[in-house]
Amino acid sequence: GQQVMQIPQYQHVQEGEDFTTYCNSSTTLSNIQWYKQRPGGHPVFLIQLVKSGEVKKQKRLTFQFGEAKKNSSLHITATQTTDVGTYFCAGPLTGGGNKLTFGTGTQLKVEL
Amino acid sequence: DAGVTQSPTHLIKTRGQQVTLRCSPKSGHDTVSWYQQALGQGPQFIFQYYEEEERQRGNFPDRFSGHQFPNYSSELNVNALLLGDSALYLCASSRGTVERGYTFGSGTRLTVV
């Protein structure tokens, strides 16, 4: 089963509102990656965080990696309809070898 | 254009049949990973190929097998199909280790009836 959990599972927001998804791993991660999957599409790589406590920004998106390297968050400021999709965190779990374990995902819907 | 090419895009098979899915990685990538994604769930790791060998395997039965060719392309084979094998099968390529992030193909939607 999944060892990387995300909350919330679903989020409905009005356009212009902020959105945050949280990712928690059962073990430490050497790095955390975030992917976006549009409805009917495939996951697309957004960003990778490597250092403990690291924060990275991509326009309206802010990504954080926890101090213990077991949790992460993605925050979107002033959502737009183009942000619709499912956001997955993923990482190589300690002892998990080279494979990337994906989180359960947060589905974001944005209404006008 | 995802850079990773998968074929076919859709497939309908009957229980008990066998299926082969194909993947051509992004140019410059040498590692291919296969994932199964059921509706509404996150991708589940099936296995990974590097240098024509299975480097790592997830919790999938032996009915799932694969191959990587010298040109880095890969195949996923599933024998004795079950209804529960219905899912989106994603191929992801990367260069070297997983540290660099994956490039996913558009997937093959497999329906078992």
Per-residue pLDDT reduced to its tens digit, B39-52: 989 999 999 999 99
Contact by Cβ (8 Å): A79, A110 = yes
Q: What is the pLDDT of residue B95?
A: 87
Query: What is the dihedral sign for C-alpha A101, B58, B56, B93?
Result: negative
Q: Does B5 touch chain A (CB under 8 A)?
A: no
If you search the block for the tokens 């992917």, which residue do you land on? A35
Which of A29-33, A44-48, A71-75, B98-102 has the lowest average pLDDT? B98-102
- What would the mean pLDDT of B63-88 be, rounded to a whole number? 98
Min Cα–Cα distance to chain B from A44, Å: 7
Name chain B contacts of A104, Cβ cutoff 8 Å: 41-42
How would you list the strands of the sheet with B5-7, edge to edge?
Answer: B5-7, B19-24, B74-78, B64-68
Determine whether the interchain pair B98/A98 forms a contact, defined as Cβ–Cβ distance below 8 Å.
yes
How much is the pLDDT for B41? Answer: 92
A39 touching chain B per CB within 8 A: no
Considering only CA atoms, which of B48, B56, B62 is closest in space to residue B90?
A: B48
> Best interface-test mutation with A: which of B99, B100, B103, B109 has the largest number of A CBs within 10 A?
B99
Amino acid identity of B5?
A: T
Q: B42 and A88: CB-CB below 8 Å?
A: yes
Is the Cβ of B90 closer than 8 Å to some Cβ of chain A? yes
More confident: A79 or B96: A79
CB-CB under 8 Å, B101 with A44: no
Contact A98 B97 (CB under 8 A): yes
Q: How many CB atoms lie within 10 A of CB A60?
A: 14
Determine contact, residues B94/B102, Cβ cutoff 8 Å: yes
Average pLDDT of chain A? 93
Chain A contact for B1 (CB, 8 A cutoff): no
